Chains A and B, each alone.
Chain A
Amino acid sequence: MILRPTREDLKLIGWGIGRVILGVGLIMLVPLAVAVACTEWNTVLDFLVGIAACVAFWLLMENTCRVRGRDLTWFHGLVIASAGWLVAMVFGAIPHYLSGHFPSFLDACFDLMSGYTTTGLFLLQDLDHVSNGLNMWRHLLTYSGGQGIIVIALTFLFAGTSGAFKIYVSEGKEEQLLPNVVRTARAIWMISLAYLVIGSTFLFASLLADGMPAGRGFLHSVWLFMGAWSTGGFAPQNLNLLYYHSFIIETITLVIFVIGSFNFALHYAVWTRRRTEIFKNIEIRSFTITTIITTFILAIGFSKFHVYTTLTEFFRKGFYNLISGHTTTGNSTIYATSFYKEFGFIAMWGITLAMAIGASACSTGGGFKGLRMGIFTKSLWGDIKKIVSPESAVVREKVHHVKDIWIDEPLVKATMLVLISYVFIYFVGGLLGVIYGYAPSVAFFDAVSAGSNTGLSAGLTTPFMPTLLKVWYIIEMWAGRLEFMSVFALFGLAAATIIGRSGGARAR
């Protein structure tokens, strides 16, 4: 029997979403400060309107939805995470839309969801003339989205709430680095901020060496770091990394986004004297193997079509974009159309495969994730061993991720459910593109890019793409980032509201 959510359930969800939106409003203070410092008064006004809207929504939810004496259940946590991201998209899009760089509010929402989910696809027009305040907002979105909006809210706004862990897990981060979830959220921030200082310093020095003025170089270095570390792939210029024409900057960003794609639990283990974890971890092994396989496909493709034949060209134009795709970053050193016009279909499908597989679980990245690839492969290997072993033999497989994890049926089932869900959104996105008349390799490239939160585009994603595709890509980015369970819960809430029976308070 499905129970209809009670008024109290809905109030708790509303209260939680209100806190998330307050978090969004607080983050807007940073671009507001940048806009003030750069005397961009129109942008200041845009952000003041955005902050006012967020605070007004929070006050409304805080005063109408506060339920005393009840804590959040798993169901509430899942729905707050999934609905919270959608509502955060709408409120976050206000400064975007007011900037005048978007012809419609839908386009602004597309860029917001792309930023939060660390995808990196964008419909913003005339990026090269965007204000510093708005550029800071774009990059801060993707940086904070990489850690998770919920992680931000947990760090500052949910402290002391015992249901906090449920919202944290619902955002697609299942691992606790420390026994306390709020301390875990703070540890994630500590790692990200430490890398922000180091990475930005290296980028700043390189930009200065290339002749960029100090002020501009400082902003560009911070933005480039935020885009790469969060595996978001945003950059302050329309040409992305191609704008800089710098081997050093490309190499630094490559190192940043690969490290950014590592699991936060792995970072924490390696940083706290469990050094050998880097060799034993299933996600690093999986990433190394899939990188070698996709590099092989890329090399074959380039050889067949006689492109990027020198080692430097291969590294800067081929390998960089491949790893950018594999880590689901989306930073690029070529024109979007070059994927279709120069790479050839073998290399293009190689990158599509790398994007689909994606990065590590509990990282800033998207896609199937290395952990799931490891579990899937090991379980397949276990089945093969079972077939060739005597009937009485007990065959059990395990993977190592911070600790040994034994592979059992529920784990394989859960893994397969998520893998199938990813394949479904990739396939529907690709099919829609083909129906609209795009070449299959382009349609599937961009659809996989959106679903895996990558952000590379073969030229399909523009402000002129069909509206239905824009909406589907928003759904892909959102569902892919939350890894589906929270999205299923939101649909469950909708279904329970319509067909459920009233039966008292929810006890999950």
Chain B
Amino acid sequence: MAEVRGKDRSSWRRWGDYAVGIVIEVAAVVTISLLALLVLYVVKVIVA
């Protein structure tokens, strides 16, 4: 029983790790997009 519970816990931990990984990847995309939009803003300010 203890072994089964241990396996369950490690499975939950693994899927938790995957979920954190997904959040980090989404955050990376948002950061890159915001950086690019900042470039646009700078160009607009310079051109104006």
Within the assembled complex, what's the spacing in Å between the Cα atoms of A342 and B32?
26
Query: Given the interface contacts A296-B43, A299-B43, does A267 sit within 8 Å of B36 by beta carbon?
Result: no
Q: Which chain B residues (5-35) contact chain A, with CB distance < 8 Å?
A: 17-18, 20-22, 24-26, 28-30, 32-33, 35
B29 contact from A194, A259, A314, Cβ within 8 A: A259
Query: Given the interface contacts A271-B18, A296-B43, does A255 sit within 8 Å of B36 by beta carbon?
Result: no
Within the assembled complex, what's the spacing in Å between the Cα atoms of A262 and B33?
15
> What's the minimum C-beta distance from A309 to chain B, rounded to whole angstroms?
8
* B36 adjacent to A291 (CB under 8 Å): yes
> What's the minimum C-beta distance from A155 to chain B, rounded to whole angstroms?
19
Chain A contact residue count (CB 8 A cutoff)? 31
Within the assembled complex, what's the spacing in Å between the Cα atoms of A198 and B17?
15
A180 contacts the other chain (CB 8 A): no
* A314 adjacent to B40 (CB under 8 Å): yes
- Chain A residues within an 8 Å CB radius of B35: 288, 291-292
- Chain B residues within an 8 Å CB radius of A198: 22
> What's the minimum C-beta distance from A2 to chain B, rounded to whole angstroms?
47
Counting chain B residues whose Cβ lies within 8 A of the other chain, the interface size class is: 20 to 34
Contact string against B for A residues 264-296, beta-carbon threshold 8 Å, 1 for contact and 0 otherwise: 000100111101001000001001100110011
Closest to A322 in B: B36
- Chain A residues within an 8 Å CB radius of B37: 295, 311, 314-315, 319
- Chain B residues within an 8 Å CB radius of A284: 28
Within the assembled complex, what's the spacing in Å between the Cα atoms of A314 and B20?
31
- Chain B residues within an 8 Å CB radius of A296: 39, 43
* A259 adjacent to B43 (CB under 8 Å): no
* B29 adjacent to A258 (CB under 8 Å): yes
* A267 adjacent to B32 (CB under 8 Å): no
> What's the minimum C-beta distance from B40 to chain A, rounded to whole angstroms?
5
A467 contacts the other chain (CB 8 A): no
Contact string against B for A residues 324-350, beta-carbon threshold 8 Å, 1 for contact and 0 otherwise: 000000000000000000000000000
* B33 adjacent to A319 (CB under 8 Å): yes
Within the assembled complex, what's the spacing in Å between the Cα atoms of A291 and B22?
21
A462 contacts the other chain (CB 8 A): no
* A299 adjacent to B24 (CB under 8 Å): no
* A270 adjacent to B21 (CB under 8 Å): yes
Q: Can you report 27 residue pairs joining A to B where beta carbons are below 8 Å apart?
A: A194-B18, A254-B29, A255-B29, A255-B30, A258-B29, A259-B25, A259-B26, A262-B25, A270-B21, A270-B24, A270-B25, A271-B18, A272-B17, A275-B21, A275-B24, A278-B25, A284-B28, A288-B35, A291-B35, A298-B40, A299-B43, A300-B47, A303-B44, A311-B37, A314-B37, A319-B36, A319-B37
* A292 adjacent to B36 (CB under 8 Å): yes
Within the assembled complex, what's the spacing in Å between the Cα atoms of A299 and B48?
12
